[in-house]
Amino acid sequence: MKKLVVASSNPGKLAEIRSLLAPLEIEVVSQGELGIPDAEEPHFTFLENALAKARHTSRASGLPALADDSGICVDALGGEPGVNSAYFAGHEGTREERDARNNAKLLAALKDEPVKSAHYACVMVLVRHANDPQPLVAEGSWRGEITGTPRGTNGFGYDPLFLLPERGKTAAELDPAEKNRISHRGRALQRLISRLQEEG
């Protein structure tokens, strides 16, 4: 496999994926570079949404496609926002404006909760072609808790609120290379890369 399309227009996500795939010398292009619109994500699970995105992008590009669906799952909220993480507080505005509203809504929802444990979840899917009967699937999880005050300028989404107690830092305070090693997306992609290498 010499080239694949990432089924995402999220610049933070693309940077993470490109960095992790660099050792494989696979050319990585985004769906946005090819003029492919975002797929619908109507499903209730990360797996179904990731598979829908990968098939949509592969069909539109004629190339292998990699997609992930990920989000933050907060224990006190029964796993919410989960698959709705990106649009927890609505679809309006730029990505940065949505991130700010999502973070504010999450903090408001947890205001009276004594326990703020949470985890990031990621399911990553690679299809060799749109109708691939055996997609490669890998999962990753990253446990932490929600802090009351945003900290850090790296990362995106809920990273300024996602505290790693053992490090005393939020995900947004980590060096990008460290985050790629230990994050939910990094873990899922490392597992996917291992499977790719097994296939040769």
- Catalytic annotation, residues: 69
Q: Three-class SS of residue 164?
A: strand
DSSP helix/strand/coil, 153: coil
Other residues' Cβ atoms within 10 Å of the Cβ of residue 22: 10
